[in-house]
Structure 1
Amino acid sequence: MSEQIVVRDLGLVEYLPTWQSMQRFTAERTPDTVDEIWLLEHQPVFTQGHAGKTEHLLNPGDIPVVQVDRGGQVTYHGPGQLVVYLLLNIRRKKFGVKELVARMEASIVELLQGYGVAAYAKADAPGVYVDEAKICSLGLRVRKGCSFHGLAFNLDMDLEPFNRINPCGYAGMAVTRLINLVDNVDRESVKDSLIEILVTRLEYNERTNANSLEGIDV
């Protein structure tokens, strides 16, 4: 079987139905199901990992909070943040979870290097950082050898909602975005560059593009 991947660019979508679609896709996939990557932005929402502590929700206000089944604590999603969901059969890929996380982090570091930004990962706090400020968060769930959820990369979003939480469970953690680090942020260029890097680092050699969840029971 060739290493195929379907890349779906879904635009701006609500969190809950997208999460439910990820769950359904993962539950119904077979050993021969082709892996997928979903690129999207979410309407404003806080998501709390399955072991998340309520004290990290400081003042959510009018932004909804959704308890989800990924690892990690609380984070924020909103327009201007590129979310990448990785629906991969990592057992077939022969990746462990740590290996997948390392490849995700390395992809963001490589992307930022292309913009002249020095970024790095931390062994004790998954994600990608620039000058001690977090620019990309990670959260995964693996079920029967298959991953879902993924990463959230801050492009030109409003960062104010991060003040209403302890991001990823760290009080006072600084958060940044690409627009603070480079002169111009073209979302389409960032998406194109990141997906090329991810597909290469995840070792796929055949890619199909789609712009909807057509064929998936949403």
Structure 2
Amino acid sequence: MQGPSLCLFSWLGTVEYLSARSLQDSLVGLVHDGESPNTLLILEHPHVYTRGRLSQAEHLLSSEDELAASGVPVHDTDRGGQVTYHGPGQLVGYPIINLRDWSGGPLKYVRTLEQTIVDTLADFGIPAHTEQGLTGVWTTAGKVAAIGVKISRGVSFHGFSVNINTDLSWYRHIVSCGIADRPVTSMSRLLGEKVDQEAVRYSLVYRFGRAMGMRMSEVSPSEFVLAEE
């Protein structure tokens, strides 16, 4: 009887957005060709705004020039979803997964990512839920996690972000995920104290492995070559 498929994971620390994107592109090809196992990249980005395929110009409330003057780039990307923010205090996960070998398609995959985050938050005493017709993870105080993925030749990339100790004031520059009437929140705001980010990372890896039915194995960040900005 065949056991759970292998998924490597690694904490890469702080990585510029375009460098992480380049790494994902290379891994998608390797995973597709069977030259690398499924991989979950866990990292943090410096301040950056990204626009998904459904983004609308009016959802960026400050001009790109204004943001650039503050040293904050805006990047267009081919993931699903609309405009979002990444930055310090936020956990970003990029699963590079061969869905052809997994027991489910894109919709089930997104729902599994949502459930992974709901279960992770429960480990820290935070009730969270999904909402009909919306993607991501929600609490009574607002959205705490965003999801935007792309599937290329049966392999997933891009992924999710969870606000842990995020400075939520950075969301003032955007209509987050195109939803104007719903606030964003963070684990630290919900709990009223700073949260151990390493503990969240390991809880999430465990929950991800369980939800996906995969055997998780940690590897050194040195296994991955990051492109220079």
Which of the pair is proportionally richer in helix?
2
The normalised TM-score by structure 1 is 0.94
4+ runs deviating over 6 angstroms: none
Tell me, yes or no, if the aligned pair for 1:156 and 1:177 is still in contact at 8 Å.
Answer: yes
Does the alignment pair 1:199 with 2:202? Answer: no
State the match for 1:51 in structure 2. Answer: 54
SS of the counterpart of 2:133? coil
Q: Is the 8 A contact 2:8 2:217 kept in 1?
A: yes
Is 2:137 the partner of 1:96?
Answer: no
Report the CA distance between 1:208 and its aligned residue. Answer: 2.1
The runs of 5 or more residues in structure 2 that have no matched partner are: none
1:114 — aligned with what?
123
What count of residue pairs does the alignment treat as equivalent?
Answer: 217
Counterpart mapping for 1:2-151 below 5 A: 2=3, 3-29=5-31, 30-31=33-34, 33-60=36-63, 61-62=66-67, 63-131=72-140, 133-151=142-160
Letter of the 1:83 partner, please give it.
Answer: V
Determine if contact 2:20/2:226 at 8 Å carries over to the other structure. no
**Structure 1: which 5+ runs fail to align?**
none
1:48 positional shift: 0.3
Change in Cα spacing, 1:106 to 1:215, as seen in structure 2 (3 Å) is closer
Going from structure 1 to structure 2, the CA distance change for 1:25 and 1:56 (only over 3 Å counts) comes to same
Aligned counterparts of 1:215 and 1:7: Cα–Cα separation in 2: 11
Give the CA deviation at 1:144.
0.4
Write the deviation string for residues 25-56 of structure 1: whole angstroms up to 9, x where unpaired. 21343135310000000000000002321111
Distance 2:222 2:77 in 1: 21
Against the structure 1 CA distance between its residues 32 and 20, is the aligned structure 2 distance closer, same or farther, given a 3 Å change threshold?
closer
Task: Name the % identity.
Answer: 32
CA shift, 1:132, in A, is 5.1
Computed over aligned residues only, the root mean square deviation of the Cα atoms, in angstroms, reads: 1.6
> 2:22 and 2:58 mapped to 1: Cα distance?
26
